[in-house]
Structure 1
C-alpha cells in the first residue's frame, strides 16, 4: 500500500482546480476459481488485480479516474488529469491523517489460499458424487469453488485513513436433469465473508441433494397458468423480490435524483403494517457484510421500513450531499475501477407471526414460489418482472403439482401493500447484485410470506 506522504500529495494534486473533497481507493485483490464438470477439473484460475481509484467532488459534481500504475509520478499525473475536469481556484490543503480503528467483525479461520489444493479437490469431488447420486434423472453436474481476498486502503482529504481485508468464499453446485427432450437445472450457491472453514462446515450432501431435487422435480413440471393470484413466496432467497423491486428504489442513487417511486415519502405508510425491512452490513460473516464500506465508513444496521412506514434510505457520500441526509455506510464498489455509490448489503424483511402451513391452508387457489430467479425492475416506477425457478400450484389449501414457466409481474410499491401474512422463519440467500458501481456480493432474505394478489405470467388456459 502507499505511504501517507504519497497519498497526501495525490490528494493535494486532486484539489488543485477547486474540488472540495478528494479520495483514493487502493485495492490489492487475489482471486481463485476452481471449476469441475462431470467430476473432472476443467478450470483452475488465479489472478491478482492491483490499482487505485481517485475521486474528486465539487458539490454534487463528481470526477473519477483509475490506474493500475502505482508509481508516484503516474498517480500525480492521473490526479491532475482528473482535476482538469473542474474549473476553480487551487485549495491549499494540509492533511493530517487519522487512522480509523477498524474492528474486524468477520473472523477468518483459514485463508482459502492456505488450504491444500488436494483438499479443495476432495470437497469438489464429494459434491459431484452427491449431485450425481441425488436423483436417477441427473445427467450433468457442475461444481465451482470460488474465493477472493481484497485488501483496501481508503484515504481522503478530510484526514480519513482506513484499511481493511475482506475474504470471500463460495461453493456453487449445479445439477441438470433430463427427461426425454426436457432439460432442467437446479442450483445451490452458498457463500460467506469467511474462509475455507465456511465450506468445511457445509452439509455438502444436503446442498447437493437440494440442487438435484429441484432439477428432477422441475423437469417433469407442467406449465404455469396466468392471471391474478395469491402467491406464497418461500423464505431465504425469496427476498430477492424485495431487493430488486424495492431495495434499489431506496438507494440514494435513485432517490437523490428523484428517479425512485419512493422519493419524498419518508414517514409515509408505503407497505403493509406487517412489513419491516432492514439492510444490515454488520451481520458476522454474512455474504453481503463489511467492516467498513468503500468510502471508509463503518457499516451499520439501517431500518428502511418499520411496520409499513418508510423510515430511511441507503445513502453514500454523494447521495448525502444531494439529499442533505447523513450517509448510512452504504457506499460500495466492485473494484478500484468503479466510483462508489449507494448499494445494499444484507437486505431482508423481518419476521412475523404466521407459519408457512397457515399461508398454504388459507390459500384456496394460488402459487407457491419456492425459489425465485432473476428479474428486472424500473426504480422510477417500481415495475418488476421475475422468473420463478421452482413453483407449485396451491389447490384447496394444499401444495399440489409443480409448474414451470411462471413469472411474477407487478409494482413493488403495490406489492408491499398486499403482503397479508409474514412468517417467523427468516433465512438468507446469497447472490451477486449488478448496478452502476459494478457487481457485488449481497444477501437477500425474508421469512415465508404471502402476497394476496400478484399478476402471474404463464400460459393462457392452463
Structure 2
C-alpha cells in the first residue's frame, strides 16, 4: 500500500475527528471504576484481541509452551459468538502479503470458529517443533531479523447483532468508542488498555462522556464473556513489534459486548 492510501483516507477528516475527541474529553467527568458491561467499538477496538489473544496464537509462543492456548486445538476457548480470523490475502489491506518471508503463499487462517480453537499462525521452524504445517504466517521487518510466525490482518468476524440493539441491551455500562495503548503479559494474556473516548450507557442509551477509563482483564476470560457481536466489521492499521521486528498489521472487529470487564477509573 502506497499513495493509494489517500484514496481511502481523508487527512482533513482525520484532523477533524482528532479535534472532536479532544474537545469532547476535555471537560468530561472521570470514569467510575468497577466491574461492568462494556461495549467496545469496531475497528481499533480489535487491538485487545490482537495483543491479549493474537500473539498467544502465534507458533512463536505456542511451540515453546508460552501460550495459554497451547495444546487446546479443538477445545472451546471462547463464546459461541466468537469467530476469529487472520487473513493475509485481503485486497488493499495494510497487513496483507502475497507470500510470507519463508516463501509460502499467504492464506486465510481460521483461528477460532464459533468459540472452538481451530488453528494457529505457524512458521516452518515452529511448525516442525509442533508437527504442523506452515500457514503462510512467517514475517520479518528486514533481512536483519530471522522470520517467525506473525499476524497479518487479524479480526473478530462480524456476527448477527445490530449495533443499536447492543447499546439498547445495556442497563448500565461503558461504551468504549476509541481505544488507546496498553500493556499485555504475553504468557498469561493479562492486559490493561486505555479508553481514549468513552461514554457511560444508562437504560440503553449513550449518556455522559467519561475520561480516564482503563479496561483490565485476561484475554482468555474476555473471549468467553463476549455475548453480542455486531454485523459491521472495520479494520484499523498499525505496526506490530515482536522478535522479528516491526511489521504492518491490521486489527479489527465489529462492535462487541462483553458481559463483564473490570474498568479502572479515577473517580
The normalised TM-score by structure 1 is 0.57
Q: CA deviation at 1:201?
A: 4.3
Question: Contact 1:422–1:448 (CA<8 Å) still a contact in 2?
Answer: yes
Q: Which one has the bigger strand percentage?
A: 1
For 2:25, the equivalent position in structure 1 comes to: 218
Q: CA deviation at 1:205?
A: 3.3
Q: Whole-Å Cα distance in 2 between the matches of residues 306 and 200 of structure 1?
A: 34
Q: Whole-Å Cα distance in 2 between the matches of residues 382 and 201 of structure 1?
A: 34
For 2:175, the equivalent position in structure 1 comes to: 368
Q: Whole-Å Cα distance in 2 between the matches of residues 282 and 431 of structure 1?
A: 17
For 1:288, the equivalent position in structure 2 comes to: 95
Unaligned runs of 5+ in 2: none
SS of aligned partner of 2:4? helix
Question: Contact 1:366–1:395 (CA<8 Å) still a contact in 2?
Answer: yes
Q: Whole-Å Cα distance in 1 between the matches of residues 11 and 199 of structure 2?
A: 26
Written as runs of structure 1 = structure 2, the 5 A alignment for 1:26-37 is none
Q: CA deviation at 1:211?
A: 1.6
Question: Contact 1:261–1:379 (CA<8 Å) still a contact in 2?
Answer: no
- Going from structure 1 to structure 2, the CA distance change for 1:272 and 1:440 (only over 3 Å counts) comes to same
Instruction: Map Cα deviations across residues 158-189 of structure 1 (whole Å, 9 max, x no partner).
Output: xxxxxxxxxxxxxxxxxxxxxxxxxxxxxxxx
- Going from structure 1 to structure 2, the CA distance change for 1:328 and 1:369 (only over 3 Å counts) comes to same
Q: Whole-Å Cα distance in 1 between the matches of residues 26 and 59 of structure 2?
A: 41
Instruction: Map Cα deviations across residues 107-149 of structure 1 (whole Å, 9 max, x no partner).
Output: xxxxxxxxxxxxxxxxxxxxxxxxxxxxxxxxxxxxxxxxxxx
Q: CA deviation at 1:368?
A: 0.4
Instruction: Map Cα deviations across residues 306-349 of structure 1 (whole Å, 9 max, x no partner).
Output: 00000000001111111010011111111111111110000001
Alpha-carbon RMSD: 1.1
- Which stretches of structure 1, 4 residues or more, deviate above 4 A after TM superposition? none
For 1:412, the equivalent position in structure 2 comes to: 219
For 1:355, the equivalent position in structure 2 comes to: 162
In our comparison, the structure showing a higher alpha carbon Rg is 1
Whether 2:199 is the aligned partner of 1:396: answer: no
66, 74, 78: which is aligned to 1:267?
74
Q: Whole-Å Cα distance in 1 between the matches of residues 53 and 252 of structure 2?
A: 13
300, 309, 327: which is aligned to 2:107?
300
- Going from structure 1 to structure 2, the CA distance change for 1:345 and 1:229 (only over 3 Å counts) comes to same
For 2:152, the equivalent position in structure 1 comes to: 345
- Using CA pairs under 8 Å that are at least 6 residues apart, name the structure with larger relative contact order, 1 or 2: 2
The number of residues matched between the two structures is 267
Question: Contact 1:287–1:443 (CA<8 Å) still a contact in 2?
Answer: yes
- Going from structure 1 to structure 2, the CA distance change for 1:316 and 1:393 (only over 3 Å counts) comes to same
Q: Whole-Å Cα distance in 2 between the matches of residues 367 and 252 of structure 1?
A: 34
Whether 2:131 is the aligned partner of 1:318: answer: no
Q: CA deviation at 1:414?
A: 0.6
Question: Contact 1:293–1:299 (CA<8 Å) still a contact in 2?
Answer: yes
For 1:382, the equivalent position in structure 2 comes to: 189
For 2:55, the equivalent position in structure 1 comes to: 248
The normalised TM-score by structure 2 is 0.97
Q: Whole-Å Cα distance in 2 between the matches of residues 441 and 450 of structure 1?
A: 27
SS of aligned partner of 2:60? helix
Q: Whole-Å Cα distance in 2 between the matches of residues 338 and 393 of structure 1?
A: 45
For 1:230, the equivalent position in structure 2 comes to: 37
Instruction: Map Cα deviations across residues 263-307 of structure 1 (whole Å, 9 max, x no partner).
Output: 000000100000000000000111000111111111100000000
